[in-house]
Amino acid sequence: MALAVLARLGQTVFVLFGISVLVFVVFFATPGADPTARIAGRNASPETLALIRHEYGFDRSLPVQYERMMGRLFITRDLTSFVDHGERVVPEVFHAAPVTLSLVFGAAIVWVLASIGMGTLATALRGSLVDRGLMILGLIGISMPVFWLGEVINLITQSRLHDTWMFSWVPGLGYVPLTQDPVRWFKVLVIPWITLAILFIGIYGRVLRADLVAAYSEDFMRTAQAKGLSASRVLFRHGLRTSMITFVSLFGLDFAQLVGGGALLTEVVFGLQGVGRLTYQALSNLDLPLIMATVMYSAVFVVLANALVDILYVFLDPRVRDAR
Q: 198-243 pLDDT, tens per residue? A: 989 999 999 888 888 887 777 677 777 777 766 667 777 667 777 7
Contact 235, 120 (CB under 8 A): yes
122-164 pLDDT per residue, tens = 888 888 899 899 999 999 988 888 889 999 999 999 888 888 8
pLDDT of residue 187: 92
Q: According to the per-residue pLDDT averaged within each range, which of 4-13, 45-54, 61-70 is highest?
A: 61-70
CA–CA distance, 64 with 306 (Å, rounded to integer): 31
pLDDT in tens, 27-46: 777 666 667 776 766 666 77
Please give the Cα distance from 57 to 317 (Å, whole number).
50
Distance CA 47, CA 322 (A): 63
Q: Do the beta carbons of residue 83 and residue 283 sit within 8 Å?
A: no
CA atoms of 262 and 131, how far apart (whole Å): 31
Q: Which pLDDT band holds residue 195 (cuts at 50, 70, 90)?
A: very high
